[in-house]
Amino acid sequence: MLASDLCPLLSEEGYEVVALSRTQLDITDASMVRDVVERVQPWCVVNCAAYTRVDDAEDEKDLAFSVNAAGAGNLAMTAGRVGARLVHVSTDFVFDGEKNVPYKEDDAPNPLNTYGMSKLQGERLVRDGTDDHIIIRSSWLYGPGGENFVRRIISKAGESEELSVVYDQVGSPTYTADLAAAVLHLMEEAPAGVYNFSNEGVASWYDLAYMAVEAARAKGVSLKLQRLKPILTEEYPTPAKRPRYSVLDKERYRDTTGTAIAHWVDALSRYVDSMWQGRRTGGGG
């Protein structure tokens, strides 16, 4: 999803973008990473690759760590070798959710699940692999080019009269178009280090679902949904435990870049608009 927004943006800004698929660059293959990066000789490497199936990671630990940890480390070491800056995208799930105020970059991580553990290990390998790194922690991503919560909810709302959504997990939804702009700002302007970025505001999964349905209806999308039911996490058990509160403090990002951050409701509206551009009816985007 992120690459779908980032590559066109970088091209518009005048960068020569070398966008590689998994077959062209498997980041878990250290020799392949070395060969490709040394051939391209980039100014900056942006890692948009990740294993993000949070629940599946509990059964696929080796694969999650191979991509999210070892793969990130391979990129970092090779970027450092050729003198390229590395931008690496991480997650709010490195935190345990026990705070009641937004997490700062220097707060102690304590992931609750395999996905979060693998991403935290990736951060550590990035730091060890190259001094010139930008680690961006983000949260609750949605956007084009991939399956995501917003698209899934709208699709289900077109098929079902009632949906249940968890309301006691709280974070900040993030539109990948806005994260892509943040990557550009940090890539160009920021000193090496860790930065939080998400859209402004706080939401539960229920809030995000409710606003996604309302935004789709405002576009004229025909939906069957009659009732959106808020439920507790314990009513919807999942293999992976999730933090109950993972809002990110973005003061460092704002101070460094001098840019404002859009509220998640505005960002969601823009995304839903993009899903139905030129269409007035339909059930799933």
State residue 279's pLDDT score. 47
Q: Provide CB contacts within 8 A for 108, sequence distance 6+.
A: none
For the chain, counts of helices (H) and of strands (E): 10, 10
- Where does residue 131 fall: left (phi above 0), alpha (psi -120 to 50 degrees), or beta otherwise? alpha
Query: For 160, what's the count of Cα atoms within 13 Å in the CB-facing half-sphere?
Result: 13
Domain presence at residue 13 = yes
DSSP string, 97-133: S--SSPBPTTSPP--SSHHHHHHHHHHHHHHHH-SSE
Task: Return the SS3 of 172.
Answer: coil
Domain presence at residue 283 = no
pLDDT confidence tier of residue 284, bands split at 50, 70 and 90: very low
Separation of alpha carbons 28 and 247, rounded Å: 30
- Where does residue 140 fall: left (phi above 0), alpha (psi -120 to 50 degrees), or beta otherwise? left
Residue 160 has pLDDT above 60, yes or no: yes
Separation of alpha carbons 135 and 150, rounded Å: 25
Pick from 228, 204, 211, 215: nearest CA to 156: 228
For the segment 58-84, what is each residue's pLDDT rounded down to a tens digit? 999 999 999 999 999 999 999 999 999
Domain presence at residue 280 = no
Residue 282 has pLDDT above 50, yes or no: no
For the segment 2-61, what is each residue's pLDDT rounded down to a tens digit? 999 999 999 999 999 999 999 999 999 999 999 999 999 999 999 999 999 999 999 999
Domain containing residue 234: 2-275
Instruction: Give the number of domains in the chain.
Output: 1
Separation of alpha carbons 277 and 132, rounded Å: 40
Domain presence at residue 284 = no
Domain presence at residue 281 = no
Residue 219 has pLDDT above 90, yes or no: no
State residue 145's pLDDT score. 80
- Give me the CATH number covering residue 187: 3.40.50.720
Q: What is the mean pLDDT of residues 239-267?
A: 95
Separation of alpha carbons 261 and 110, rounded Å: 27
Domain presence at residue 282 = no
Separation of alpha carbons 47 and 73, rounded Å: 11
Residue 115 designated active-site: yes
Let me know: does 219 contact 273? Beta carbons within 8 Å. yes
Angle made by CA atoms 33, 136, 36, in degrees to the nearest 5: 10
Domain presence at residue 147 = yes
Among 115, 245, 253, 271, the one annotated catalytic = 115
Let me know: does 37 contact 53? Beta carbons within 8 Å. no
Domain presence at residue 183 = yes
Separation of alpha carbons 138 and 199, rounded Å: 9
State residue 221's pLDDT score. 87
Percent with pLDDT over 70 in the chain: 97
